[in-house]
A and B are shown apart, each in its own frame.
Chain A
């Protein structure tokens, strides 16, 4: 292990990690928004839109992110839709993540028995109050494990961005291996930086999961 080499190229990895986290978080936030919209459309069974959402979810869940990115980055410019690499990364992540988030929210909403809504109605709550005080709190606590798993999954998926020449952690490691043949050091730094990014989120996820386990009704 050559520590001099590691210290010298640490800043390069820091920059790459910031880029990875920035694009990853932007993608996750947009994915959450897309997921919420899709879940709401499916929950309220909006005509026409619900079929489109259904097709979108199946398409995005059954294809790999790398293929989606290749299509957006190399395929779409041929029909005049040009995107920069980082925008493309965010779009790809949001496209993939939207469906996973939608499924997480939907399974939470669907797990609430109809009797909950009926009871809320018979207590004289209006639709807003029913959602705010009865359905959403329970649905959210059921969704949390899947939601956190999705966040980690999406952040992990950012590792394919190097394929569309974004200078992320993967790209940096590959570059250094190619340039200096310092495989062990480059890979060591790569693992360390991914642990720094992913470990806190994973721990946060398990804490949240444990705290929210008591929130379910009748469980």
Chain B
């Protein structure tokens, strides 16, 4: 039975290094999520404004970010912006910037969708009951919006984590890069290690995302 990488995985600190690599990916996505959720809520609320100019600008930003592959955005910031403006960005900073830009766009779209899915009669009924504007939002609109929004934003977190795998391409040392290093280092001793190591990376990502998406599914069902 040829060695398929299990031994390499258990050798030395290899497993811990892989998990550490995943930690970097998780850290980047966590920072981006924490920043982009409030920003996205703000933008999403602005999107429901009737002002045509803010609407047009926001739409342009949103559509551009959402239609471009995240990899293109990473390249634009990491190679393009550094060249154009002459500043110096580390791969990690560049990826955090991209994920904040992207996360904000996605989040604002979710917020806009959730807000516009509240039927108009909810506003009218609360007005008929004599609630003030603040009360209407506080007691009627926001609680209903949140129920729709929370499962969707939890899903956004898993999408963010999955997308962080791309930062390998701009030279951030994350789990896939660590995997490559481990495979390179053990090329002579166990040439077939790629199978086991990449399988381990696959499962690590699964273990990171699965519980989160299960939570989202559970909440979605419960709050229907």
Enumerate chain A interface residues (CB-CB to B < 8 A): 58-59, 61-64, 66-68, 70-71, 74-79, 152, 156-160, 162-163, 170, 173-174, 177, 183-184, 187, 190-191, 194-195, 198-199, 202
Question: In the complex, are the beta carbons of B75 and A78 less than 8 A apart?
Answer: no
Shortest distance from the beta carbon of A84 to any chain B beta carbon, whole Å: 17
Question: In the complex, are the beta carbons of A184 and B84 less than 8 A apart?
Answer: yes
Any A CB within 8 A of the CB of B80: yes
Q: Which of B122-130, B146-154, B162-170 contacts A (4 or more CB under 8 A)?
A: B162-170
From B67, B183, B198, B213, contact of A67 by CB (8 A): B198
Shortest distance from the beta carbon of B180 to any chain A beta carbon, whole Å: 9
- Residues from chain A with a CB closer than 8 A to the CB of B202 are 63, 67-68, 71
**Whole-angstrom distance between the alpha carbons of A198 and B209 in the complex?**
28
From A61, A170, A183, A202, contact of B71 by CB (8 A): A170
Question: In the complex, are the beta carbons of B69 and A61 less than 8 A apart?
Answer: no
Subset of 5 A-B contacts with CB under 8 Å? A66-B166, A70-B201, A71-B199, A158-B69, A183-B80
Shortest distance from the beta carbon of B54 to any chain A beta carbon, whole Å: 21
Name the interface size band of chain B. 35 or more
Shortest distance from the beta carbon of B28 to any chain A beta carbon, whole Å: 13
Question: In the complex, are the beta carbons of A74 and B213 less than 8 A apart?
Answer: no
Any A CB within 8 A of the CB of B176: yes
**Whole-angstrom distance between the alpha carbons of A173 and B170 in the complex?**
13
**Whole-angstrom distance between the alpha carbons of A113 and B210 in the complex?**
29
Contact with A along B101-136 (1 / 0, CB 8 A): 000000000000000000000000000000000000
From A62, A66, A194, contact of B209 by CB (8 A): A62
**Whole-angstrom distance between the alpha carbons of A202 and B66 in the complex?**
10
Shortest distance from the beta carbon of A66 to any chain B beta carbon, whole Å: 4
Enumerate chain B interface residues (CB-CB to A < 8 A): 4-5, 63, 67-72, 75-76, 79-80, 83-84, 158, 162-166, 168-169, 176, 179, 183, 191-199, 201-202, 205-206, 209-210, 213
Shortest distance from the beta carbon of A174 to any chain B beta carbon, whole Å: 7
**Whole-angstrom distance between the alpha carbons of A159 and B210 in the complex?**
24
Question: In the complex, are the beta carbons of B75 and A173 less than 8 A apart?
Answer: yes
Question: In the complex, are the beta carbons of B71 and A184 less than 8 A apart?
Answer: no
**Whole-angstrom distance between the alpha carbons of A183 and B86 in the complex?**
12
- Residues from chain B with a CB closer than 8 A to the CB of A58 are 206, 210
Given A64-B163, A67-B165, A184-B84: A191 and B72 interface contact (C-beta under 8 Å): yes
Shortest distance from the beta carbon of B154 to any chain A beta carbon, whole Å: 13
- Residues from chain B with a CB closer than 8 A to the CB of A79 are 4, 192, 195
Question: In the complex, are the beta carbons of A195 and B71 less than 8 A apart?
Answer: no
Shortest distance from the beta carbon of A113 to any chain B beta carbon, whole Å: 14
Closest to B164 in A: A64
Closest 9 CB pairs of A and B: A159-B69, A64-B165, A62-B209, A75-B198, A78-B195, A159-B71, A64-B162, A78-B192, A183-B83
Given A71-B198, A194-B68, A195-B67: A63 and B205 interface contact (C-beta under 8 Å): yes
Question: In the complex, are the beta carbons of A187 and B80 less than 8 A apart?
Answer: yes
Question: In the complex, are the beta carbons of B209 and A174 less than 8 A apart?
Answer: no
Please give 18 more A-B residue pairs, beta carbons under 8 A apart, in addition to A62-B213, A183-B79, A202-B67. Answer: A58-B206, A62-B210, A63-B205, A64-B164, A67-B205, A70-B179, A75-B194, A78-B4, A156-B67, A156-B69, A156-B70, A159-B70, A160-B71, A160-B166, A163-B169, A187-B72, A187-B76, A194-B72
